Amino acid sequence: MTSTSIPLGPEPEYEKVVSGYETLHSPEPFACEWGGVLPELHVAWESWGELSPGRDNAILLHTGLSASSHARSHPRNQHPGWWEEVVGPGLAIDTDRYFVICTNLIGGCYGSTGPSSTNPATGSPYAMDFPILTVRDMVRAQLLLLDHLGIDCLHASVGASLGGMQSLMLAALAPERVARVASISAAACSHPQSIAMRFVQRQAVMADPDWNEGRYYGKSFPHRGLRVAREMGTLTYRSGPEWMERFGRQRPRDCVPRLHEDFQVERYLAYQGDKFCLQYDPNSYLYISKAMDLFDIADEDNSSGASPEGVDLPHLKSIAAPALVIGVKSDILFPVWQQRELAHLLEDSGNRVTYVELDSPYGHDTFLIEVDRVGEALAAHLEG
């Protein structure tokens, strides 16, 4: 099935990134929060704009689950980035003024160390020998990059979805290094509904016989499991009102109904699932989605068990930077009440908070589609 058989609509811009990025190599062992040590670490990153002489104009972009470091096109990779219309000269995140950095988070599959990377101790991919990751681990790897670049304090830490979690975590873990923080369609912690949805997605991947306990590299790819997982994920990225307008109840005329793709909305989900299988590593999907489940920066007493016993988890009260929180009324994955909750928790901690609520039909993907409205709020916050 091709995309031309599906009613056209706005879609995020993603690609499988295999080149065009820089790589930080840290030869030192990297101890993860829940145990396990990576013998070495690679962090893929891209940048736009120029670092000021005072090294005080840097903005760090944090990505969602499946995005790469390629937020915007550049000479070494001219394919449009996932925030092509937000980052650039004269745009909301103005690269004529700011030095913008975006990393591929660790655990990913676009240049940073992840389950598909070669374990130097064995010469084979880590697969399920990769340690459980947390958002804190991801941010600690980003701090290694900032140290490497000689950036002591960011002008802003900006992210959406899982990126919003990272943005908050960085501002809490190293408050002296963040002057502004922006969290878009994220949350102070993962709530049971989103945990349950991601659990079922992981079960779909692991139920595929080709998953082979994560050791499918060089063998049969668990296409069926990852496809179903992405189809379920897509249900949470968009909204019913958009699909009613875009697809309605349309199905091929005069065709006998079948149990496979029949309605246009079913064909759309199948297309998204197949496309994702060409771009992403299933084991990365498992590890990163679990890191989202474990995220909790609202629980000061750690009664949720979000971190190992004896490990102090950074808390919202540690954040000292002015904050921008953006929510979307139609968001299913991170419902808008979670954005209101986050804004109130930050205010209760003494932060200056700007809260923006968007009425958009595009659900969780609004930050990738309604770029003018999201960009307007971001630009004002960066100027503030």
Query: Where does residue 191 rank: exposed (0-12), middle (13-18), buried (19+ CB within 10 A)?
Result: middle
Question: Which one is catalytic: 69, 73, 117, 161?
Answer: 161
- 3-state SS record for 333-359: CCCHHHHHHHHHHHHHCCCCEEEEEEC
Say which of 208, 281, 293, 331 is annotated catalytic.
Answer: 331
Task: Tell me the C-alpha distance between 186 and 142, whole Å.
Answer: 19
Q: How far from the centroid of its chain's Cα atoms is residue 238's Cα?
A: 16
- Please state, in angstroms and rounded to a whole number, the distance separating the CA atoms of residues 71 and 82: 5
Total Cβ atoms within 10 A of residue 369: 20
Cβ within 8 Å of residue 14, ≥6 positions away: 66, 67, 68, 82, 279
Catalytic entry in 62, 70, 364, 381? 364
Q: Which ranges constitute the DSSP H helices of the chain?
A: 135-149, 162-173, 192-207, 223-237, 240-246, 264-277, 282-294, 336-348, 366-369, 371-383
Mark whether 161 is an active-site residue: yes
Burial tier of 251 (Cβ tally within 10 Å: 0-12, 13-18, 19+): middle
Concatenating the DSSP letter of every residue in 162-230 gives HHHHHHHHHHHHSGGGBS-EEEES--SB--HHHHHHHHHHHHHHHHSGGGGGG--TTS---HHHHHHHH
Kindly report the three-state secondary structure assignment for every residue of 260-275: CCCCHHHHHHHHHHHH
Question: If you ran DSSP here, which 8-state letter would residue 46 be given?
Answer: E
Q: Which two tokens stand for residue 102?
A: 């975006």
- Annotated catalytic residues are 161, 331, 364
